[in-house]
Chain A
């Protein structure tokens, strides 16, 4: 590490931030999609959809920003990771297509509304599962040959990647349920609160399982977690998870409005930080570091000029959007 600005580290954090912004924001709206079939047709479903309608495609933009920045700032990583995770990524894209157009088409085509509702839930499920499997497959390691992917087209499929896939589905459902607790009223909210309990338990169990399995995937992961004295720092993460879990269930039991959602986001942030501890400074875990994958300085600077102006603008705008649409939502839609 130099004292001068290390652009690769800057870009690693920008991309990590974009991915996290994507996970929490599209996470809750995918979660609403996952819970959608459990809601009654008519008022409950319309309310749930209207609670995410104004913000979902802004949320999804972070996925494009994350992928695009990876291509620009770390092209070698982009070139290795995407072919390795071919099937889950393409499944995710196809799921997102179904889900994205369901928002538009559902309202324009009442005759086929039931079908678009299935597409909405199905698309959300496939997308969430694809993302979770992608994460697990990345974490378990990718075989690299030269400057490219060196494995087969089923390498991503392991018990571990299925575990992370299922974990993300359950976690997104938790975010969706707590979001609805915060944003809706009446029967929708009662249903959502019940779901928040169930998916809360499931998510905590998954965090435990994934955390227990991860150090065994790669000696370097274990090293980053358990080396003295940095273990004093890393040990805070599971500790906070325990505290967060207790607070989460207490808030839910007290029927709080916003706290369950914010605490669920906190659990996601802690899991994400844990992930970061495991892999940093690698970008293809165990194989390629951020410095090895980096674009030349001139590319990183050229893009940083635009990003440093536009990302704050986008963030401010997003915050404004959430502020405008705060509070309880009706089933009538915004216009």
Chain B
């Protein structure tokens, strides 16, 4: 029986990880893309240059598909807490439930109010109102991120709660709950990550079409904008990541120990482990490549500052060290690669060869999907690093799981994997197909005949009910 429940726990974690990992990719892309679309439309209104509105229509088609997949994968998430993590739901519901409900309400509000105008209202409402709709969608995606990251951050750095007689977390101070200590850092880090992820995708698409046709105005503009974004935001992201790391050291020290591979305490300055193979059994990092004192310098801003290691906490409190260690390195490596690409593009720009340097374009194409990898790696670092707790220091993962039987979880896990790969695989294929078309002047908007969502109710056709049956253009 003990073995069975352990299996159910592992399977439930696998299922949750799988469905979240799939889901997180779509919002990360749509947050960045919504803001990019707002910038494009704003530039078009300000400069009246055709290229911006063509790019707007080009990326709008991709946004529509990505947004739809984000919505359907999100529905699953709202039920997974209950199916697989019922004890967690019972205990945290009074605190986290209202915040998640706000996420649903605000997301719907945005979608219903503005997405339809943004997607289909270009020729129906005035330019000013359409721009407002685009801006509101961009703001709304960030609003959604606000609530969901507040929920996630509370699980990492809980405060503002009391514990009831039934063992539930109950709210004592909503302000403290929503604005918990790690929340601002996590929100900034995630939103910047979404911007960088989108910039890499836009840059890769621009680079691909530049390789074919260096004169393509749309490709030049999107490549240039994406490279500016990388050059400016990648350094900011590294600073934000560093600040987030210091916050984590303060509130979740064992997570940082695992990230850094610090099995031993270092009373007189800890080295920075660049690479190596963490061995949890032996409590050491094998074949470690280290830079002495650097970890203390980064984390404590002092060469000889003492840093505690995992040996200072009981073994049962350790997160799975190798996963956290490696996912952290993947994230950081990609972050610096983004910075490198941004600096390379600056140099090419200075040389006047931004649109001519084929190797830069090839590198940008290679980096196209890297943002998604970095987002996933960062997410694994922070979520696996929280283990063995769901609510850090208070509620263990093993004590959060539903009373499930392993075969039920196994069967549903298989079903999720098959369905997700089939359905979202097709969706990604459609997105790639859209990206393979070169941007051009007179870019058509969304094709006529496409169904619109709820959302799709636009104010203008309401005035004239007969107009809605007319074929577009």
Contact = CB atoms under 8 A, between A and B. Distances in A.
A191 to B, nearest CB: 21
A299 B97 contact: yes
Contact of B78 (A64, A81, A149): A64
Contact of A101 (B72, B74, B452): B72
B415 interface: yes
A295 B89 CA distance: 11
B415 A299 contact: no
Given A69-B101, A86-B402, A104-B450, 17 more contacts: A54-B453, A65-B108, A72-B101, A75-B91, A93-B76, A94-B415, A296-B171, A299-B94, A314-B105, A314-B109, A317-B112, A318-B112, A325-B457, A326-B465, A335-B446, A335-B448, A335-B472
Contacts of B469: 329-330, 332
B462 A320 contact: yes
Given A60-B75, A87-B408, A333-B449, A303 B170 contact: no
B454 A153 contact: no
Contacts of A89: 79, 83
Contacts of B446: 335
Interface of B: 64-65, 68-69, 71-76, 78-79, 81-84, 86-87, 89-98, 100-102, 104-106, 108-109, 112-113, 120, 164, 166-168, 170-171, 174, 402-405, 407-408, 411-412, 415-416, 419, 423, 426-427, 430, 446-457, 461-462, 465, 468-469, 471-472
A108 B76 contact: no
A227 interface: no
A302 B408 CA distance: 36
A7 to B, nearest CB: 12
A70 B95 CA distance: 13
Task: Name which of A79, A303, A317, A334 has the most chain B CB atoms within 10 A of its CB.
Answer: A334
Interface band, chain A = 35 or more
19 contacts: A53-B456, A68-B101, A71-B97, A71-B100, A75-B90, A79-B90, A82-B79, A83-B83, A86-B83, A89-B79, A96-B72, A97-B76, A108-B450, A310-B108, A314-B105, A325-B468, A333-B448, A334-B120, A334-B468
| Cβ-closest 7 pairs across A and B | A75-B93, A72-B97, A58-B454, A53-B451, A82-B82, A79-B90, A153-B408
Nearest to A302: B98
A53 B68 CA distance: 13
Given A89-B79, A303-B98, A61 B108 contact: yes
Given A71-B97, A78-B89, A335-B120, A58 B402 contact: no
Interface in A282-334: 295-296, 298-299, 302-303, 306-307, 310-311, 313-314, 317-318, 320-321, 323-327, 329-330, 332-334
A50 B157 CA distance: 47
A238 interface: no
Nearest to B402: A83
Contacts of B456: 53-54, 334
Nearest to B451: A53
A103 interface: yes
A153 B78 contact: no
Nearest to B84: A83
Contact of B89 (A50, A79, A334, A335): A79
A3 interface: no
Given A57-B71, A83-B404, A89-B79, A320 B97 contact: no
Contacts of A55: 454
Secondary structure of the A contact surface, majority rule: helix
A226 interface: no
A63 B75 contact: yes
Nearest to B15: A90
B57 to A, nearest CB: 14
A78 B467 CA distance: 45
Contacts of B65: 104, 108
A25 B184 CA distance: 39
Contacts of B455: 57-58
A323 B462 CA distance: 8
A61 B78 CA distance: 11
Task: Name which of A63, A67, A86, A306 has the most chain B CB atoms within 10 A of its CB.
Answer: A86
Task: Name which of A78, A83, A330 has the most chain B CB atoms within 10 A of its CB.
Answer: A83
Given A93-B76, A299-B98, A76 B68 contact: no
Given A82-B79, A94-B419, A314-B108, A147 B412 contact: no
B86 A101 contact: no
B461 A324 contact: yes
A45 B446 CA distance: 21
